[in-house]
Amino acid sequence: SKRGICSRTEAERRIRAGRVTVDGRVVRDPEHPVDAAAARIEVDGVDATAPAPLYLVLNKPRGLVTTASDERGRDTVYRCFDGAGLGWIAPVGRLDQASEGLLLFTNDPAWAATITDPGTGPDKTYHVQIDGCPAPAQLEAMVRGFRCDREHLSLGSVRILREGGRNAWVELVLHEGRNRHIRRLMAAF
């Protein structure tokens, strides 16, 4: 385009086609982490000036999927940025379609990697409404976790925020998040 910004799909196509080099080496993986401030990036042999780092916070509404495009035609989180002219941005982590809450976006893959890495990133805190009022032993068991589909699912901590007659709101803290981690854990307990 006029300012050198192309769509995510176009950028991925160029990368996969081997048209992009990082420090003189061809890179074909669009998720390849790069320190844009230090690396020499070229597209078709022309220096690609990195855009200024961009860090965004979105209060993701329910009903949107966290992906650039959906094979089933569902609305994606990128709908929230329509017309903003942001260039390429990617979500830092995911929230499933039925969830709402804070979702980070950036054009800085190295920063995103530090945020999502369980060793360097922050814990993730969720407030979840559950069907029932858990006993202290159930809460302790959630922290210990269990094996599900060859993965150990557990919580860093859990506490009751408030209880009613039939349900409760709990605060769950994850050190790392796996696919549908909270939903699978809650279904087991």
Residues recognised as catalytic? 96
Residues 6+ apart with CB under 8 A from 39: 22, 23
Place of tokens 């940025």: 81
- Calculate the CA dihedral of residues 21, 25, 29, 35 and round it to 10 degrees: -70
Place of tokens 């597209």: 43
Output the CA torsion sign for 95, 124, 90, 117: negative
